[in-house]
A and B are shown apart, each in its own frame.
Chain A
Amino acid sequence: MKDKSLISIDDYSKADIINTLDRAEDFERNPHQPLLEGKVIASLFFEPSTRTRLSFESAISRLGGKVIGFASKDSSSVQKGESLKDTIKTVNNYCDLIIMRHPLEGSARYASEVADVPVINAGDGANQHPTQTLLDLYSIRQTQGKLDDLNLFLVGDLKYGRTVHSLLMAMSNFNTTYHFVSPPELRVPEEYKMFLKEKKLKFHEHTDFTDIISDADIIYMTRIQRERFSDPMEYEKTKNSYVLRNSMLEGTKDNLRILHPLPRVNEIHDDVDENKKAYYFPQALNGVYTRMAIMSSILGL
């Protein structure tokens, strides 16, 4: 993984994924390892993202590295009409690693081709967000003690949600059984179903979010976004039928944990927060350990 950019979750083999998770576990046990001392990391956020940016910057600080960069395109020279290539070509003179969030799909792959230093994709439009996927995998392994043979329920916007697509692909290495729960207009795209069929993995599609969750090991909730609907009434109706409430968790498995990439709006009711099966806040903390692992592996430290 040394010197290799991380753009898409497919860039990591099963062994790379497991190495990263093992390393993250080591950082969780011992977070004070100043491996990035003397290193400069550029954090280029062409689109704001509080959670991802702060999690990266926290990981860098814990590792003793320095951060340079910007938190939105308004405070960068993109404002003056500079091309992405020129920004990357310039910034890579100042740093050892680039972390980039950009609204256009494919921008991170392109940046990795023009940069002389490795690039970590922190989200390129609706395409990929591989560090989120690795922290999701970390949370799954941490709570289930394994990644193999699990029943994974993905709920909400399965059409546009990039975290869903990347998690679906990554989990295909571990003999997962998938359950897709979404409104008909936000179903998993055909190409992912083709991919699962090819890999001979089981998947089930549901439109009702009810007691089907009784055999779930992981429920991965996502936000249904207003802008995906042309009819605002349709949106109001839909968003309320994919809400997880505490009462629905009765009779579910003991080992069940609920994950969410956050931010949530109303898709997980507040009354779930107190349930021991709610795991979305510890999941966010895992982002720091996972990103520490990813950055130190790429820098060969």
Chain B
Amino acid sequence: MADSSKPKLQVSAIRNGTVIDHVPAKHLFKVIAILGLDKITTQITFGTNLESKKLGHKAIIKLSEVFFKDEDINKIALIAPHAKLNIIKNFKVTEKSEVQVPEKIKGIAKCGNPNCITNNDHVNTAFYVLPKDKEKVALKCHYCEKITDPEDMEVF
């Protein structure tokens, strides 16, 4: 049969929405938290520990009827710098893009310094995103000026 020889999609297709591909598998749940996907009511499919030449193991997220603003989706660039977005309209990819690392982020992550004012008073967190090396970024707290590594960051 033609079907069996054809490579089959590991995660089923969506009609309209957004596909986020090339998420490092180990950070899938942080990406879910950052984007607030636990509060979305439309259909979502996740695939994780899929093979990827670039990442080793990757995750993919398919969101039906969900479209992100750049400023929201770019927050995941801290932990998923190679993530790719596909906008799907009527089963077809109509737009492709990559996430961009923002210069400043507000209110998504906890400062790693227990002695920071943001961990002791009602103060929203804010960080400057600094390049650490080619692949990684560091978060410098706007308040206490200490560095938090996005790999260890705790998402609210």
Contact = CB atoms under 8 A, between A and B. Distances in A.
Interface string A114-128: 000000000011111
A182 interface: no
Contact of B121 (A110, A124, A126): A110
Nearest to A103: B115
A110 B142 CA distance: 9
Given A105-B115, A105-B116, A127 B122 contact: no
A104 interface: yes
Interface stretch (B23-31, B50-58, B144-152): B144-152
B121 A105 contact: no
A285 B105 CA distance: 42
A105 B122 contact: no
Interface in A99-119: 103-107, 109-110
A85 B122 contact: yes
A106 B118 contact: yes
A8 interface: yes
B120 A8 contact: no
A106 B117 contact: yes
Nearest to B142: A109
Nearest to A83: B121
A104 B145 contact: no
A106 B122 contact: no
Contacts of A125: 115, 144
B115 A126 contact: yes
A32 to B, nearest CB: 38
B143 interface: yes
B122 A83 contact: yes
B120 A104 contact: yes
Contact of B117 (A110, A128, A191): A110
B137 to A, nearest CB: 13
A84 interface: yes
A106 B111 CA distance: 11
Contacts of A83: 121-122
B123 interface: yes
A8 B145 contact: yes
Interface of B: 111, 113, 115-118, 120-123, 141-147
| A-B interface, 7 closest residue pairs, ranked by CB to CB distance from nearest | A106-B143, A105-B144, A106-B144, A106-B117, A107-B117, A104-B117, A109-B143
20 contacts: A83-B121, A85-B122, A103-B115, A104-B115, A104-B121, A104-B144, A105-B115, A105-B116, A105-B117, A105-B144, A105-B145, A105-B146, A106-B111, A106-B117, A106-B118, A106-B142, A106-B145, A107-B121, A109-B143, A110-B123
Interface of A: 8, 83-85, 103-107, 109-110, 124-128, 191
